[in-house]
Chains A and B, each alone.
Chain A
Amino acid sequence: MNAPPLLELDRVQKFFPISRSVSEYFAGRPGRNIHAVDGVSLTVGSGETLGLIGESGSGKTTLGWLVCRLHSVTGGRIRFGGEDVTELAGPALRAWRRNVQVVFQDPVGSLDPRLRVWQIAGEPLRAQGGLGKSEVRRRVRDLLPSVGLPPDCLDQYAYEFSGGGRQRISLARALSVSPRLVVLDEPTSALDVAVQAQILNRLVELQRARRMAYLLITHNVAAVRYVADRVAVMYLGQLVELGSMRAVLDRPVHPYTKALIAAVPALDVRRRRTRYRIGGDVPTLIDPKPGCRFAARCPFVIDRCRVEDPPLTAYPGDPERLVACHRAEEVRDIAPSELLAPAGAS
């Protein structure tokens, strides 16, 4: 390895303290924390797409915000292009932000209803370059066709667009400063399937044309399969599996990845006769106990899983692939479909 990766997270942590009540404070109870992101290490290379999948509460959005420096980390380091950006502040942070832009999930809430399209999409340009109005308008007009919007919609408001159109405005805003990394936080989960396909196609085209990297945060396994080169799977603040898209999605090793893939409804009428076998709810993130966090729901659990944290270790035979499971070797050949039982069996 010679050049450093574009983005490198090194054991990044983010804890959110829970406020104590007055009585708890005087009773001397220690404060509790929500471990939203707990020791995540990963890299994103130049021009590549890392898909980050996980369910709500797994910390994937928090991780995305940490990468954009919208949250500050509790522990760990964030390096961008080899340079430590964990402590950047003030003008240096503002200047750095042109490298990393974000597209948020909610296409309604993330666009100011009182601004026009050119003001929304041009806001990063004004913040970064101090450009004048006519220059911003010109640049936004040039940019709009690349996200699939007509150039003459500059003076419309966001509410005049459908969900897909709003997400395109969001995308134009992110692209306006030609970032090297775009954090896509559930870019399509509010959209219908036909519109989702248009946006996913557009994302792939833009990446080919502009060679930027994507961190695609989503719970949608199909979207990750289409867009991502590598996939990281998150569960309760920790990575459980990381590897190439094909390896992780087609031959998942970690029981949680298997459970996730088995749970995705397929366009297959024969699945009607199957029953999903993973029970249990997602446990709490408040001061989690040691041991594998999936142990309570895992069908392959052994005693060791409940007491000892499985480290994220390289998987034999595939150096690109990391798995955090004590029984990785034993469970690796179990197909996700085996977590579905035929009807009648329980």
Chain B
Amino acid sequence: MTDPVLTVEGLTVNYSVGAGTFHALQDVSLEIRPGEVVGIVGETGCGKSTLGHAIPRLLPEPPARIESGRIVFRGTDLVTVPRWKLPMVRGTGIAMIFQEPLNSLNPAFRVYDQLAEAVRIRRLRESGRLPMFRPDRDDPFDYSRPPPPPKGGTLANAIVPGGVTAEAVQGRRLGSYRDDVLEYLRLVRINDPETVLGLYPHELSGGMRQRVMIAMALSEKPSLLIADEPTSALDVTIQAQVLTLLKELIDEIHTAVLFISHDLGVIAETVDLLGVMYAGRLVEIGPAAEVFESPRHPYTKALLRATPNRSKAEGALDTIPGAVPNLSRLRPGCRFQPRCVLARPVCANDPHPPLVPIGFGPAPAVHRTACLFPEEVAQLP
């Protein structure tokens, strides 16, 4: 079993604002291995974007504050890394795709300039001209993932260790990044990349912008890609195209992916391992097929059942009574307890139940739930 690229252990994040302290994340733990796609699903305000931003330390601190926990990325705890070193982690270490591609591309620069910057930074880091983040143990981003399949083009070639330095030193002039940039645009299936090079972000459609974002994230050859709602701003047919592209690229380049979405359908199509979040807690995690087919947390079950799947003639939709709790006024006990059909006094009185495995299996992939009564969840209609 390969070592995980990322291990998050007991991560707790609070936001201190005027109205009080919001417990945005509490005791979140997960692992991502090379080539694995881990999905995080949950409703608005459940902390999934906070998690996505906390990992590369992109949260504004303050008001955010990492209270406790570790974010171990390739052997280094990012929580203790000094802030000035963090930009070295981002890009070539951890790359992100954000939800709204128009806001994450610089409107004043052409597509070429934005992509070339990413390529240039990677080359400079690889050739030692820019400081690159060195983990404590001596394996600086060796991309020691399973050997990539041959079809990957430039991406796969440069992932191979040692194959980069010689040609990276050349080409300090911006113009010489053109070939690389074109290659990446082709990789994300952009037709006519020569024209797209010279366009500004506002001249692109939403799907194209998101492709450019993906190209930019991948051009730095990250060990970990965090995709925060990458298709939520897109139309459904364009979303299907971008998802197809992401699925193909994930298969090609074997990067580890943390895929955050509120859309259960999108998640079902994409991820290997699925974590379900509720009110800042990870309440269930396991292989996607198991979580979808036999959910063991009442919230997961309720969420799946609330998805519209019938006509009004076939009866009303199931809903979850009540509302998401206010994260600044949390009571002890299970956070889902006030809305849960299985709730008992013990759920409100005991501390929040930890994630416990159901059944047996290899440790990282085993299905775990934070419910005291997983057997009874299975019995729910």
Judging by beta carbons under 8 Å apart, are A260 and B237 in contact?
A: yes
Chain A residues near B293 (CB-CB < 8 A): 269
Judging by beta carbons under 8 Å apart, are B311 and A267 in contact?
A: no
Judging by beta carbons under 8 Å apart, are A267 and B316 in contact?
A: no
A282, CB-defined interface residue at 8 Å: yes
Judging by beta carbons under 8 Å apart, are A198 and B323 in contact?
A: no
Interface residues of chain A: helix, strand, loop or mixed (majority): helix
Segment among A112-120, A122-130, A188-196, A301-309 that sits at the interface with chain B: A188-196
Chain A residues near B323 (CB-CB < 8 A): 162
B304, CB-defined interface residue at 8 Å: yes
Q: Binary interface profile of A, 242-279, with partner B (CB < 8 Å = 1, else 0)?
A: 00011000000000000110111111110110111011
Complex-state Cα separation, A226 to B307, whole angstroms: 10
Chain A residues near B236 (CB-CB < 8 A): 55, 219, 221, 260, 263-264
Chain B residues near A264 (CB-CB < 8 A): 236, 265
Judging by beta carbons under 8 Å apart, are B268 and A267 in contact?
A: yes
Complex-state Cα separation, A281 to B9, whole angstroms: 42
Judging by beta carbons under 8 Å apart, are B316 and A219 in contact?
A: no
Judging by beta carbons under 8 Å apart, are A197 and B238 in contact?
A: no
A22 CB to closest chain B CB, in angstroms?
A: 22
Complex-state Cα separation, A278 to B247, whole angstroms: 15
Judging by beta carbons under 8 Å apart, are B310 and A267 in contact?
A: no
B269, CB-defined interface residue at 8 Å: yes
Partner of A281 from B207, B292, B306, B307 at Cβ < 8 Å: B207
B283, CB-defined interface residue at 8 Å: no
Judging by beta carbons under 8 Å apart, are B264 and A226 in contact?
A: no
Complex-state Cα separation, A238 to B316, whole angstroms: 32
B174, CB-defined interface residue at 8 Å: no
Judging by beta carbons under 8 Å apart, are A272 and B319 in contact?
A: no
A131, CB-defined interface residue at 8 Å: no
Chain A residues near B316 (CB-CB < 8 A): 201, 204-205
**Chain A: CB-nearest residue to B317:** A197
> CB within 8 Å of A: which residues of B?
43-44, 205, 207-208, 235-241, 243-244, 247-248, 251, 262-266, 268-270, 288-289, 292-293, 302-304, 306-312, 316-320, 323
Judging by beta carbons under 8 Å apart, are B240 and A197 in contact?
A: no
**Chain A: CB-nearest residue to B235:** A55
Known: A162-B323, A226-B311. Is A281-B303 also a contact (CB below 8 A)?
Answer: no
Judging by beta carbons under 8 Å apart, are B205 and A275 in contact?
A: no
A240, CB-defined interface residue at 8 Å: no
A225, CB-defined interface residue at 8 Å: yes
Complex-state Cα separation, A268 to B310, whole angstroms: 16
**Chain B: CB-nearest residue to A262:** B240
**Chain B: CB-nearest residue to A53:** B236
Partner of A265 from B235, B243, B318 at Cβ < 8 Å: B243
Partner of B264 from A267, A278, A279 at Cβ < 8 Å: A267
A64, CB-defined interface residue at 8 Å: no
Judging by beta carbons under 8 Å apart, are A193 and B238 in contact?
A: no
Complex-state Cα separation, A255 to B223, whole angstroms: 40
A177 CB to closest chain B CB, in angstroms?
A: 25
Chain A residues near B266 (CB-CB < 8 A): 265
Judging by beta carbons under 8 Å apart, are B235 and A56 in contact?
A: yes
Chain A residues near B320 (CB-CB < 8 A): 194
Q: Total number of A-B contacts with CB less than 8 angstroms?
A: 123
Known: A219-B235, A226-B311, A275-B244. 18 other contacts (CB 8 A): A55-B238, A197-B308, A201-B316, A221-B236, A222-B307, A226-B317, A246-B311, A260-B237, A263-B240, A265-B240, A265-B263, A265-B265, A265-B269, A267-B292, A268-B269, A274-B269, A276-B237, A281-B205
Known: A223-B308, A272-B247. Is A194-B235 also a contact (CB below 8 A)?
Answer: no
A161 CB to closest chain B CB, in angstroms?
A: 10
Chain A, interface size category, equals: 35 or more
A57 CB to closest chain B CB, in angstroms?
A: 8
Judging by beta carbons under 8 Å apart, are A198 and B205 in contact?
A: no
B185 CB to closest chain A CB, in angstroms?
A: 15
Partner of A276 from B243, B292, B306, B310 at Cβ < 8 Å: B243
Chain A residues near B304 (CB-CB < 8 A): 267
Judging by beta carbons under 8 Å apart, are B311 and A278 in contact?
A: no
Judging by beta carbons under 8 Å apart, are B239 and A201 in contact?
A: no
User: What are 14 A-to-B residue pairs whose CB atoms are below 8 Å?
Assistant: A193-B307, A194-B303, A197-B307, A197-B319, A201-B319, A204-B316, A223-B308, A226-B310, A226-B312, A265-B243, A265-B268, A266-B268, A267-B264, A275-B247
Judging by beta carbons under 8 Å apart, are B308 and A226 in contact?
A: yes
Residue of A204, A245, A269 most packed against chain B (CB within 10 A): A269
A200, CB-defined interface residue at 8 Å: yes
Partner of B44 from A192, A225, A245, A269 at Cβ < 8 Å: A192
Chain A residues near B251 (CB-CB < 8 A): 343
Chain A residues near B264 (CB-CB < 8 A): 193, 267
Judging by beta carbons under 8 Å apart, are A282 and B268 in contact?
A: no
Judging by beta carbons under 8 Å apart, are B319 and A276 in contact?
A: no
Known: A204-B316, A272-B247, A281-B205. Is A225-B269 also a contact (CB below 8 A)?
Answer: no
Complex-state Cα separation, A150 to B235, whole angstroms: 35
Judging by beta carbons under 8 Å apart, are A222 and B268 in contact?
A: no
Partner of A267 from B243, B265, B302, B318 at Cβ < 8 Å: B265
Chain A residues near B319 (CB-CB < 8 A): 194, 197-198, 201
**Chain B: CB-nearest residue to A204:** B312
Judging by beta carbons under 8 Å apart, are A192 and B265 in contact?
A: no
Chain A residues near B235 (CB-CB < 8 A): 55-56, 219, 282
Q: Binary interface profile of A, 269-303, with partner B (CB < 8 Å = 1, else 0)?
A: 10110111011011000000000000000000000
Complex-state Cα separation, A26 to B306, whole angstroms: 59
Judging by beta carbons under 8 Å apart, are A225 and B311 in contact?
A: yes
Chain A residues near B44 (CB-CB < 8 A): 163, 192
Complex-state Cα separation, A205 to B316, whole angstroms: 9
Judging by beta carbons under 8 Å apart, are B208 and A272 in contact?
A: no
Complex-state Cα separation, A181 to B288, whole angstroms: 43
